Amino acid sequence: SAVISQKPSRDICQRGTSLTIQCQVDSQVTMMFWYRQQPGQSLTLIATANQGSEATYESGFVIDKFPISRPNLTFSTLTVSNMSPEDSSIYLCSVRTGGIATNEKLFFGSGTQLSVL
Amino acid sequence: DAKTTQPNSMESNEEEPVHLPCNHSTISGTDYIHWYRQLPSQGPEYVIHGLTSNVNNRMASLAIAEDRKSSTLILHRATLRDAAVYYCILLGGATNKLIFGTGTLLAVQP
């Protein structure tokens, strides 16, 4: 299993500013994922962050807007840059653990509730 | 990317069984079927997963169709604490991108 600490749990930000969300895992994991969940909606994958390589972004998400760091196997950050009210959402980090496919599971942080004024 | 489809919502009465269906007709032979649930104001949590055979754990049972194109999550006795959004996703093997469908919002009536 994996325990994920995600900070901050919520924030209210001004338009045009940036917020960095941190995700700390209690064990070393290769694959980490960042999701966005808009109110009442499902999770949308923003990017996959593997340690030692550039993050891979999904269609509709770009590095300039959502830069990601992955300095080691237990930590990652997602920055929401130059925020607008449309960025108001819940942001979640997730890890994939288990090694072999039989044992793989996903674990999620508790999320960051972002409101942009 | 392999996708899943689920009903948007379902209702159940407390103490009764609940069967939550999921279709995944484009599943590959090495994809595992995973179920997660998201309680209000929390991140999703693991429920159960399987490959071909039916699976049981303390939370639920997973029934997988013989052709693997569909599966059903079974909650044997729903409680009010089971009210959540339930997501069925495919993981592992050929599916590296973890794409969530709409999920099923389960309401449990007392």
Q: What is the pLDDT of residues A8-45, one digit of tens each?
A: 999 999 999 999 999 999 999 888 999 999 988 999 99
Which residue in B has a C-alpha nearest to residue A3's C-alpha? B45
Q: What is the pLDDT of residues B52-102, one digit of tens each?
A: 999 999 999 999 999 999 999 999 999 999 999 999 998 866 556 677 888
How high does pLDDT run on average in chain B? 91
pLDDT value at residue B28: 85
- Which chain A residues touch B87 with a CB distance below 8 Å? 42-43
CB contact under 8 A, B30 and A102: no
CB–CB of B74/B62 below 8 Å? Answer: yes
- Which chain A residues touch B97 with a CB distance below 8 Å? 45, 48, 58
Count Cβ–Cβ pairs < 8 Å, chain A vs chain B.
Answer: 57
What percent of chain B is predicted at pLDDT more than 90? 76
CB contact under 8 A, B30 and A42: no
pLDDT value at residue B94: 52
Q: What is the dihedral of CA B35, B16, B63, B7, to 10 degrees?
A: -60
Q: With a cut of 90, say whether residue A88 has pLDDT above it.
A: yes
Q: With a cut of 70, say whether residue A72 has pLDDT above it.
A: yes
Which residue in B has a C-alpha nearest to residue A97's C-alpha? B92
- Which chain A residues touch B100 with a CB distance below 8 Å? 35, 42-45
pLDDT value at residue A17: 97
User: What distance in Å separates the CA atoms of residue A38 and residue A35, rounded to the nearest whole number?
Assistant: 10
pLDDT band per the 50, 70, 90 thresholds, residue B2 = low
Starting at the edge strand that comes first in sequence, how are the strands of the sheet with A68-72 ordered? A4-7, A19-25, A75-80, A68-72
The amino acid at B6: Q
User: What distance in Å separates the CA atoms of residue B5 and residue B102, rounded to the nearest whole number?
Assistant: 7
- Which chain A residues touch B32 with a CB distance below 8 Å? 101-102, 104
Question: What average pLDDT score do residues B39-52 get?
Answer: 93
Token pair recorded at residue B56: 């049981």
DSSP state of A44: E
Q: Does B42 touch chain A (CB under 8 A)?
A: yes
CB contact under 8 A, A106 and B92: no
Q: With a cut of 80, say whether residue A112 has pLDDT above it.
A: yes
pLDDT band per the 50, 70, 90 thresholds, residue A83 = very high
Q: Does B46 touch chain A (CB under 8 A)?
A: yes
Q: Is B68 exposed, middle or buried (0-12, 13-18, 19+ CB in 10 A)?
A: middle
